[in-house]
Every structure is written in structure tokens, then in C-alpha cells.
Amino acid sequence: KQEVTQIPAALSVPEGENLVLNCSFTDSAIYNLQWFRQDPGKGLTSLLLIQSSQREQTSGRLNASLDKSSGRSTLYIAASQPGDSATYLCAVYSGGSNYKLTFGKGTLLTVNP
Amino acid sequence: EAEVAQSPRYKITEKSQAVAFWCDPISGHATLYWYRQILGQGPELLVQFQDESVVDDSQLPKDRFSAERLKGVDSTLKIQPAELGDSAMYLCASSSYGTDTQYFGPGTRLTVL
């Protein structure tokens, strides 16, 4: 059974700092890995999707990397802003005959002005 | 921009009562997902539809939960009877056939007293 772990569970940084969120997964036979953002009491917004054959994806100040063989991914946020405060969730698409997303518990990010 | 619609946004009920949640996916999206997210956890897939057919309901507690998508468009998730442990956010998502990006609705926050 696929398990996804995110470290740290919570992170507080001053505005302008660069930061890294970590994600690990137990079964490397994944189809892709996705990073989502969730604001309090809201649904999820897709940030980045990395196919299993890719090493990284970039969108604006966000860069996600994937090392499938070691079961790890990182989300790098450059020049953090208070508006980046949210929970960031990592999810892997895997499952053999019927792929589904397995989520981690998320990292709660607070960016202080 | 098209969005996934869910209603109600909030529901408070007493245990043993019946509750129902509604989801309207983005127009043209053939795949629809229902997730349950317990506070502090990542979402967990309850049921996946492809058009009107159930693709995966392996994590759906079938003794009390039911889901339908009669015309392959909108969907209803029902719980009868509700239990205290059902308190959670219920998220609906949709995707185009053959694509991996899921678009999430705002969710329904259920509180069972």
C-alpha cells in the first residue's frame, strides 16, 4: 500500500525567505506526483504535476523536483510572501490496474510579514 | 473559469440522521471523484466514477455510504445513518477523460453531533 509522508508538518518563515518542503513515498512505481495548495476550509488547488519520467517542473516562484528511485520530492518556494501561507499537500498517482491519488498529511506554511 | 460546484458548504447533523451532498463537475469532465478529508489529514478517495459507472469504491463504507451519478453529470453522496466519526470535509473533484489533473470543489464541511 502506497504511503506518503511530508516533512515538516508545520513551518514558519519570515517574508522573503526561500524554503523547501519535503515529500517521500514508499512505492516508487508511480505514474506522476502532484503538489496541491489548500487554504483553510477550502478545496485543493493544483500547483505542479511531475510525470514519472521527469525530474522537475517550474511554475513562477515554485519548483518541484522528483527522484523516483529514492521515493522523494521537494517543493521549493522562492522569495516567500504572506499570500503563500497555506497547507501544501503532496500526492502520488499510483496503483497498478486502477490509478488513484494518495495524499500526504500536508505541511502547514506560515509566512510572516 | 469553470469550477466544480458543491452544496451545501456546511452541514451539521445529529448522529443516526441521513445526510446528502451534491457535486456538479466541470462541464465535459467524464471522471468524478469523492474524497473524505479528516482534519489534519490528507484527502482519501471514497469513490471514483467514469461517466455513470463506478470505477473504484474500495474505500467506501458501503454499509452506510452510497454514491450515484445517474446521468454521468452531477453526483450525490449519501450517508445513512451518520456517525460521530463521519465528521470531516467531503471534497468532490473532476477531470477530463485521459488526463491526470483533478479540479477540486470547495468541499462540504460535515459535523455530526
The number of helices, as runs of H, and strands, as runs of E, in chain B is 0, 11
Q: What is the arithmetic mean of pLDDT over B8-32? A: 96
**Alpha carbon separation from B37 to A94, A113, B26, B32, B44 (Å, rounded):** 19, 30, 21, 16, 6
Q: Determine contact: A89 vs chain B, CB below 8 A.
A: yes
Position A41 scores a pLDDT of 85
CA distance B105 to chain A (A): 6
Full DSSP string of B19-67: EEEEEEPPTT--EEEEEEE-TTS--EEEEEEETTEEEE-TTS-TTTEEE
In sign, the C-alpha dihedral spanning A26, A31, A33, A37 is negative
Backbone torsions φ then ψ of A85, nearest 5 degrees = -60, 120
Report chain A residues whose CB lies below 8 A from the CB of B89: 41
Backbone torsions φ then ψ of B86, nearest 5 degrees = -85, -5
| C-alpha gyration radius of chain B | 13
A86-94 vs A30-38, strand pairing mode: antiparallel
pLDDT confidence bin for B2, thresholds 50/70/90: confident
Contacts of B58 (CB under 8 A, 6+ apart): none
Q: What is the mean pLDDT of chain B?
A: 94
Report chain A residues whose CB lies below 8 A from the CB of B102: 46, 101
**Which tens digit of pLDDT belongs to each residue from A44-76?**
999 999 999 999 999 999 999 999 999 999 999
Position B81 scores a pLDDT of 96
**Does the distance separating the beta carbons of B56 and A98 come in below 8 Å?**
yes
Q: What is the arithmetic mean of pLDDT over A91-113? A: 90
pLDDT above 80: residue A95: no
pLDDT confidence bin for A1, thresholds 50/70/90: confident
Calpha distance A111→A86 (Å, rounded): 9
Record the cell numbers describing residue A82, joined without a space: 504572506
Backbone torsions φ then ψ of B66, nearest 5 degrees = -145, 150
* Residues forming a β-bridge with A33: A50, A92
Position A99 scores a pLDDT of 80
B86: helix, coil or strand? helix
pLDDT above 90: residue A96: no
Report chain B residues whose CB lies below 8 A from the CB of A31: 100
